[in-house]
């Protein structure tokens, strides 16, 4: 019997092997190709394991070994020369590329057992700002924004409190003239101590780098507390574009991003200045606090509410989808986003709708949909609420009355004996030819793993409009008493406006007929820039995070392996007993 005890002790480390998705870079600065990565904390060999996102999967191929517990899943041209970790290649992209607005990452072993799962949305952060999503501390901590540390322990690093406050991309005369002429970038020290900028560098969208040294500053590279310091290009060519989009980034001497800004189209002898947290065209003032005259701070942007398409009694119901007709004039500002939502005091009672306005000095008309929360749980009181439209440095608002619940919108949850399913997010109004997302939650009510195929379709009558079908279904496993949120992207490309049905099909393994959630979808012709609008049919309090996979997949693996081992051990004991007889 002692040898069986020894066998159990021998297998325990394998059963309880650590495996954690520890860091994810899903939207690096600039182009994403060959810069995305997934960091795993484990001592396991991941060769031939599978990484899967919401659309496709890849097999891991070991291309570089290391003695550390960190492994990186990367694309084929990822630069890992200075990284001390096990490197696994998946080809040109990880899955179907890690989506910038949200995705799910699933890691499976050779037996298709799920080792760990992580889902995220752009609201988590690390979205094109030079940061990644990290567990802090490693393995056990929650995911949060952090300085990228592939192959190293995750740590919160507080950057210097320095701000880019002004740039002159198109000076009068020769752009590459020696200082104090030519192009320049101004930095403001917000710390209460002196900082030496030597070794810091400024980088543009094309990755040209200007290192700060005695040759491109006046007097010294040290910037005193609360001082403004001007960094001149001093003959360095190609750093700041005069036409089109440009992004300017400041890095410290260790290569950490300190601050960044972007602008479009320079004007000769006119700087871009940060005035009251808004980037405006201004009279150049290198090394000084930016002027705050009426001319400099005036944005000239105007937002007017032309009409609110509401009921004839001037009242809206909970769950209604309002349409707001806006007249927008964008003035002298680099901002482009306009947002609309409904609130009262500290409570927001609708999803935010956004539209991007890029054309300056031009009056434009937009019709925005705003989805009011259905209030299925009667969280909010009937009464007067405020519709607010803000952006481009302008703001306007109007009062509206909301009362009465549309109970049809609250009937999107179904309880089966084996499982339950619920529609979490789906738009009620879209434009033709634009992608939109749908999120559902499936809960396993049994004490065993269940498998499901899930797919979405858009129909009008018996005619299917979208390209999704059963063959393109997503297959998932849900652990005992566990639940998972699934997010699908859809596309409706039709010239015919009208009301369509969005079907979400849920087919349990070994069943022939899927369960179905159906909701109405209004499709409009695509006449305006993309508008983002979401509906949460069973809204949670504002301060809660939703959308995460609601189980720890490492536990599933341990349960499976323990079960396999016990079956193996019982078999050995039976053979041993038979031999003794």
Tens of pLDDT, residue by residue over 439-498, are 888 999 899 999 999 988 888 877 777 766 677 788 999 999 888 988 888 888 877 888
Lowest mean pLDDT across 89-93, 405-409, 442-446: 405-409
Q: What is the pLDDT of residue 68?
A: 94
Q: What is the mean pLDDT of residues 531-546?
A: 41
Q: What is the mean pLDDT of residues 165-194?
A: 92
Contact status, residue 452 vs residue 410, Cβ threshold 8 Å: no
pLDDT digits (tens, 9 = 90+) for 351-383: 888 888 877 656 889 988 888 888 877 888 999
CA 35 to chain centre: 16
User: 554 by DSSP, 3-state: which?
Assistant: helix
Between CA 318 and CA 315 the distance in angstroms is 10
Q: What is the pLDDT of residue 14?
A: 39
76 or 429, which is more confident: 76
This prediction's pTM: 0.35
**CATH 2.60.40.10, the chain: domain bounds:** 302-408, 412-532
Between CA 152 and CA 134 the distance in angstroms is 11
Between CA 100 and CA 353 the distance in angstroms is 18
Residue 537 predicted with pLDDT over 60 = no
- What CATH topology corresponds to 302-408? Immunoglobulin-like (2.60.40)
Residue 190 predicted with pLDDT over 50 = yes
| CA distances, 525 to each of 435, 466, 496, 528 (Å) | 13, 16, 8, 9
Residue 150 predicted with pLDDT over 90 = yes
Q: Kindly report whether the peptide bond that precedes residue 137 is cis, defined as omega within 30 degrees of 0.
A: yes
Residue 303 predicted with pLDDT over 90 = yes
- Architecture, CATH, for domain 166-296: Sandwich (2.60)
pLDDT digits (tens, 9 = 90+) for 212-228: 999 999 999 999 999 99
Q: What is the pLDDT of residue 33?
A: 86
Between CA 395 and CA 388 the distance in angstroms is 7
Q: How confident is the model at residue 540 (pLDDT cuts 50, 70, 90)?
A: very low
Between CA 134 and CA 250 the distance in angstroms is 22
User: 247 by DSSP, 3-state: which?
Assistant: strand
User: 269 by DSSP, 3-state: which?
Assistant: coil
Domain 2-146 bears CATH identifier 1.10.287: no
Q: How confident is the model at residue 415 (pLDDT cuts 50, 70, 90)?
A: low
CATH classification of 412-532, choosing from 3.40.50.9100, 3.90.380.10, 2.60.40.10, 3.40.367.20?
2.60.40.10
Between CA 134 and CA 147 the distance in angstroms is 9
404 or 163, which is more confident: 163
Nearest to 341 by CA among 395, 407, 277: 395
Between CA 360 and CA 332 the distance in angstroms is 7
Q: What is the mean pLDDT of residues 5-33?
A: 68
Residue 347 predicted with pLDDT over 80 = yes
- Phi, psi angle pair for 2, to nearest 5°: -60, -35
**Helices and strands, counts by H and E, the chain:** 3, 42
What burial class does residue 410 get, using C-beta atoms within 10 Å of its C-beta: 0-12 exposed, 13-18 middle, 19+ buried? Answer: middle
Contact status, residue 442 vs residue 420, Cβ threshold 8 Å: yes
Between CA 292 and CA 269 the distance in angstroms is 18
570 or 456, which is more confident: 456
Q: How confident is the model at residue 11 (pLDDT cuts 50, 70, 90)?
A: very low
Q: How many residues does the chain have?
A: 581
Between CA 441 and CA 549 the distance in angstroms is 9
Mean pLDDT, the chain, whole residue set: 82
Q: How confident is the model at residue 563 (pLDDT cuts 50, 70, 90)?
A: low
Residue whose tokens read 């991003």: 257
Q: What is the pLDDT of residue 63?
A: 95
Q: What is the pLDDT of residue 315?
A: 79
| Percent of the residues in the chain that have a pLDDT greater than 90, as a whole number | 39
pLDDT digits (tens, 9 = 90+) for 258-296: 899 998 888 777 888 898 888 888 778 899 988 765 454
């Amino acid at each position: 019997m002692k040898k069986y005890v020894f066998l159990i002790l021998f297998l325990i480390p394998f059963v309880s092997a650590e495996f954690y998705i520890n860091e994810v870079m899903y939207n690096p600065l600039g182009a994403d190709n060959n810069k995305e990565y997934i960091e795993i904390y484990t001592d396991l060999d991941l060769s031939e394991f599978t990484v899967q996102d919401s659309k496709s999967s890849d097999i891991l191929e070991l291309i570089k070994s290391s003695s550390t517990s960190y492994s990186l899943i990367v694309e084929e041209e990822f630069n890992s020369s200075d990284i001390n970790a096990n490197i696994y290649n998946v080809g040109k992209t990880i899955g179907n590329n890690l989506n910038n607005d949200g995705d799910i990452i699933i890691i499976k072993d050779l037996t298709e057992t799920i080792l760990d799962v992580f889902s995220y949305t752009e609201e988590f952060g690390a979205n094109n700002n030079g940061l990644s999503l990290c567990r802090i501390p490693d393995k056990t901590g929650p995911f949060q924004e952090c300085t990228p540390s592939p192959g190293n322990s995750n740590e919160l690093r507080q950057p210097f409190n320095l701000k880019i406050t002004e740039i002159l991309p198109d000076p009068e005369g020769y752009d590459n003239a020696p200082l104090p002429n030519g192009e320049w970038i101004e930095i403001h020290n917000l710390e209460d101590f002196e900082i030496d900028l030597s070794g810091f560098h400024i980088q543009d969208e094309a990755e040209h780098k200007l290192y700060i040294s005695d040759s491109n500053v006046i007097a010294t590279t040290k910037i005193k507390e609360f001082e403004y310091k001007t960094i001149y290009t001093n003959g360095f060519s190609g750093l700041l574009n005069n036409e089109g989009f440009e992004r300017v980034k400041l890095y410290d001497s260790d290569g950490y991003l300190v601050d960044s800004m972007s602008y479009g189209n320079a004007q000769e002898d006119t700087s871009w200045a940060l005035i009251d947290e808004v980037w405006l065209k201004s009279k150049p003032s290198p090394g000084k606090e930016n002027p705050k005259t009426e001319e400099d701070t005036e944005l000239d942007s105007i937002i007017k509410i032309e009409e609110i398409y509401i009921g004839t009694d001037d009242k809206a119901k909970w769950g209604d989808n309002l349409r707001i007709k806006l007249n927008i004039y964008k003035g002298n500002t680099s901002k482009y986003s306009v947002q609309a939502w409904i609130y009262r005091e500290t409570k927001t009672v609708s999803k935010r709708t956004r539209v991007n306005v890029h054309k300056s000095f031009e009056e434009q008309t937009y019709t925005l949909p705003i989805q009011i929360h259905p209030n299925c749980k009667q969280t909010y009181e009937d009464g007067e609420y405020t519709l607010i439209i803000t952006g481009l440095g302008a703001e306007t608002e109007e009062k509206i009355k909301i009362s009465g619940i549309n109970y049809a919108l609250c009937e999107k949850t179904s309880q089966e004996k084996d499982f339950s399913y619920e529609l979490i997010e789906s738009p009620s109004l879209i434009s033709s030819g634009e992608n939109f997302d749908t999120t559902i939650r499936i809960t396993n009510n049994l004490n065993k793993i269940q498998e499901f195929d899930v797919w979405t379709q858009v129909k009008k009558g018996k005619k299917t409009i979208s390209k999704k079908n059963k063959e393109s279904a997503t297959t998932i496993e849900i652990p005992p008493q566990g639940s998972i949120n699934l997010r699908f992207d859809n596309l409706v490309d039709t010239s015919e406006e009208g009301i369509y049905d969005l079907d979400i099909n849920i087919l349990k393994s070994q069943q022939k007929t899927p369960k179905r959630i159906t909701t109405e979808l209004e499709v409009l012709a695509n006449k305006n820039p993309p508008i983002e609008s979401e509906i949460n049919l069973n809204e949670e309090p504002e301060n809660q995070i939703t959308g995460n996979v609601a189980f720890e997949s490492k536990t599933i693996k341990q349960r499976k392996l323990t079960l396999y081992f016990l079956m193996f051990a019982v078999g050995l004991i039976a053979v041993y007993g038979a031999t003794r007889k």
